[in-house]
């Protein structure tokens, strides 16, 4: 069948499917499309109870855990002998209201507590799989999911715009001084010169282990040191070419990955719980997570997403790598493989660009491996119907291909792949290495956030996120599921951040002046010798919002306890601005995805946001996406699972043949 003929068949099939879907009476209302907004308002609240009628009909056991229960039933695992062999380790999210029966069950001999997260109202327990349904039946239980495996996902100062920013008058001291960046990773090599200040004192102010293996300050895997160096590495006795974005920031070293780059959901939860308790002590304003796990549960249920939301609501910017599953084994584009917690709407999810080793941004492209949106995590109702999140992700992209940064002492990655060593010295404390991946792009954005917060400590996480997107540079030839709002522009972001009023808070009236000046900044930046126009818009859940009022008038969604998407109302597929949270004179959902990377109106509409459905189909004005491969039910999604582990996460480190660099899945 010819390509044109095949495309026509797909188009007619899609139109017929949509017509059948609508005519069959399947609910296509605000509940299906805006369920994430409803849930969002609950996650930041300690109760986290979902009051909508549709949510009371959800299954409160994650799909992969539900499958294990069904498999146990099929094997006859309910016999006394089999019960001992079918133990599962699960994360139990609790409601505020509990009863004595639940407490008695949790303290019974059948349940072994492995961890407790007081700030997150959750526990990790080991129990027979056959008892999970019983636990799920207690009123005080909100959601139960498997303690899934977590893995890492992998000239910066010039090409990201940090150098251009520091060269401007009054900015030479903006280096992240006093700002704490928590790095959740494989540890940081404490003795590396990249992590010293000008007085040769280590800037790593805390080292805490959450793997159960003990704290190893040499970073035996090597991933965390590289990530930390990109966010906040200095140039002490090394080279200014490999300085990090915020070279004076404090680093908080939280080890959640072992010497082979493996970790668990419970380990990451423990680290995030620790950050919540110690954020004031170390002035932790930014968390970097260059790691992730398959995004199965909707962000409303996912324990990692809910933990991230708690931190964001508490004033901590959370930056997460999008993932490295942007193509299949044949090199075809894949959509819909954003990892958790990158599927959380309050997080800043970062994809990777390939700069081809140049400072100029004119030749930059999206790295082929960088995971694309939309998010395909979902929740299941009691009838077995899946409701997908389908959020536009990532929000930003940043340089991530073949970057040079600090090398952990005698680490696993370099030992297995000697070509990754970028050093010309035998001194362990000065060695550098190459790595590639969205893991490397995320700390670029984390460092940028630290600079903005030093310049304007009063910025909320939502303001930081909005400013980074508004000032980003759209990359020609790539849609928003690939690049979000565009490539990070630190020069523009800091310049705009410095103009934001310092007296803004959640009580500030909608439409009040956002800036301390009546003259907004010129939306142009010159970085690496190239002058470009800012994108001048923000991604808000399912859509893209543009307008000068985004930076001249205070938007209620810039406060804490909200999402940028909370100002968008969806009714029968139409997008409306919520006048209580977004001011007027802005465009909402006007051809959200563009192909030429210039101004919004100049690009071809890749996908109209009003046609982004939650039933497993992605429509572009009545047609299936033709750019790459569609993750539609029955194609690349099997029972809701996103691709087989054998394809996407088989190796800890594989060599990217295009550029000879190491790509970390």
So which residues are the catalytic ones? 185, 223, 439
Distance CA 288, CA 317 (A): 9
Ordered DSSP codes for 513-566: B-BSSSSPPPSEEEETTEEEE---EEEETTEEEE-THHHHB--GGGSTT--GGG
CA atoms lying within 13 Å on the CB side of residue 148: 22
Tokens of 247: 């070279």
How far apart, in Å, are the Cα atoms of 405 and each of 166, 434, 445, 587?
20, 7, 15, 41
The DSSP output letter for 339 is: P
Tell the burial category of 552 from Cβ atoms under 10 Å away from its Cβ (0-12, 13-18, 19+).
middle
Contact 95, 60 (CB under 8 A): no
| Separation of alpha carbons 422 and 439, rounded Å | 18
Structure tokens at 650: 């088989």
H or E stretch at 55 = helix 53-56
Q: Which two tokens stand for residue 184?
A: 């959740």
Are the beta carbons of 568 and 555 closer than 8 angstroms? no
Provide the token pair at 483: 């690049």
Task: For 398-463, give the secondary structure using H, E and C.
Answer: EECCCEEEECCCCCHHHHHCHHHECCCCCCHHHCEEEEECHHHHHHHHHHHHHHHHHHCCCCCHHH
DSSP character at residue 507 = T
438-455 vs 461-470: helix crossing angle, rounded to 10: 110
Structural Rg of the chain based on CA atoms = 24
Residue 7: Cβ-neighbour burial (10 angstroms; 0-12, 13-18, 19+): middle
Query: Residue 443 in contact with residue 459, Cβ under 8 Å?
Result: no
Helix (H, G, I), strand (E, B) or coil at 271: helix
- 424 Cβ contact partners less than 8 Å away, ≥ 6 residues apart: none
At 216, list the tokens.
């190893």
Task: Give, in order, the Cα–Cα distances in Å from 562 to each of 288, 312, 461, 506, 536.
Answer: 21, 9, 10, 10, 21
Pair 487, 353: CB distance under 8 Å: yes
Q: Go through the chain and tell me how many residues it has.
A: 665
CB 421 within 8 A of CB 431: yes
The token duo for 270 is 């423990």
Measured CA to CA, the distance from residue 128 to residue 649 in angstroms comes to 28
The Cα 315–Cα 285 span in angstroms is 7
Which of 464, 436, 626, 474 is closest to 559 using CA atoms? 464
């Amino acid at each position: 069948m010819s390509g044109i003929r095949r495309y026509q068949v797909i188009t007619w099939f899609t139109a017929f499917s949509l017509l059948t879907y609508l005519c069959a009476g399947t609910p296509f209302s605000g509940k299906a499309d805006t369920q994430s907004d409803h849930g969002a308002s609950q996650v930041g609240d300690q109760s986290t109870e979902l009051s909508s009628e549709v949510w009371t009909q959800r299954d409160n056991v994650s799909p992969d855990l539900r499958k294990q229960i069904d498999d146990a039933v099929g094997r006859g695992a309910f016999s006394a002998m089999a019960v001992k062999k079918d133990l599962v380790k699960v994360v139990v999210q609790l409601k505020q209201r509990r009863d004595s029966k639940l407490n008695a069950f949790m303290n019974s001999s059948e349940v072994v507590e492995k961890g407790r997260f007081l700030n997150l109202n959750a526990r990790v327990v080991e129990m027979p799989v056959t008892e999970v349904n019983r636990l799920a039946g207690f009123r005080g239980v909100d959601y139960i999911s498997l303690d899934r495996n977590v893995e890492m996902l992998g000239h910066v100062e010039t090409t990201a715009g940090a150098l251009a920013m520091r060269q401007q008058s009054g900015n030479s001291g903006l280096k992240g001084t006093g700002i704490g960046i928590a790095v959740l990773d494989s540890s940081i090599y404490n003795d590396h010169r990249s992590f010293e200040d000008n007085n040769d004192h280590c800037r790593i102010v805390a080292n805490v282990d959450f793997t159960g293996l003990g704290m190893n300050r040499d970073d035996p895997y090597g991933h965390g040191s590289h990530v930390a160096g990109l966010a906040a590495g200095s140039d002490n006795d090394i080279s200014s070419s490999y300085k990090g974005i915020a070279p004076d920031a404090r680093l908080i070293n939280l080890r959640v990955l072992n010497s082979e780059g493996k970790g668990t959901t419970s380990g990451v939860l423990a680290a995030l719980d620790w950050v919540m308790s110690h954020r004031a002590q170390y002035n932790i304003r930014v968390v970097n997570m260059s790691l992730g796990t398959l995004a199965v549960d909707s962000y409303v249920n996912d324990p990692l997403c809910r933990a991230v939301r708690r931190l964001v609501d508490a004033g901590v910017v959370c930056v997460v790598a999008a993932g490295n599953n942007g193509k299949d084994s044949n090199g075809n584009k894949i959509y819909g493989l954003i990892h958790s917690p990158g599927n959380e709407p309050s997080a800043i999810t970062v994809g990777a660009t390939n700069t081809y080793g140049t400072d100029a941004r004119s030749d930059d492209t999206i790295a082929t491996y960088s995971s694309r949106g939309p998010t395909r995590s979902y929740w299941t109702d009691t009838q077995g119907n899946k409701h997908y999140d389908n959020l536009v992700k990532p929000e930003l992209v940043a340089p991530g291909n073949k970057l040079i940064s600090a090398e952990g002492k005698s680490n696993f990655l370099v030992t297995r792949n000697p070509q990754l060593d970028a050093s010309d010295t035998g001194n362990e404390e000065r060695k550098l290495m190459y790595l590639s991946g969205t893991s490397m792009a995320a700390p670029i954005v984390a460092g940028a956030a630290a600079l903005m917060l030093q310049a304007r400590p009063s910025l909320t996480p939502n303001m930081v996120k909005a400013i980074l997107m508004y000032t980003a540079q759209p990359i020609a030839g790539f849609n928003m599921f690939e690049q979000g709002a565009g490539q990070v522009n630190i020069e523009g972001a800091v310049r705009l951040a410095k103009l934001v009023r310092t007296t803004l808070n959640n009580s500030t009236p909608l439409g009040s002046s956002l800036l301390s000046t009546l003259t907004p900044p010129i939306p142009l930046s010159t970085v690496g010798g190239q002058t470009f126009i800012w994108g001048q818009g923000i991604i808000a859940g399912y859509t893209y919002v543009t307008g000068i009022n985004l930076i001249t008038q205070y938007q209620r969604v810039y406060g804490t306890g909200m999402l940028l998407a909370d100002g968008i109302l969806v009714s029968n597929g139409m997008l409306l601005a919520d006048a209580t949270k977004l001011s007027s004179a802005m465009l909402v959902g006007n051809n959200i995805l563009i192909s030429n990377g210039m101004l919004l109106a100049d690009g071809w509409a890749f996908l109209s946001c009003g046609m982004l459905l939650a039933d497993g189909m992605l429509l572009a004005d009545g047609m299936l996406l033709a750019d790459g491969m569609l993750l539609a039910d029955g194609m690349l999604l099997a029972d809701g699972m996103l691709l087989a582990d054998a394809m996407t996460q088989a190796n800890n480190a594989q060599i990217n043949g295009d550029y000879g660099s190491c790509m970390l899945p």
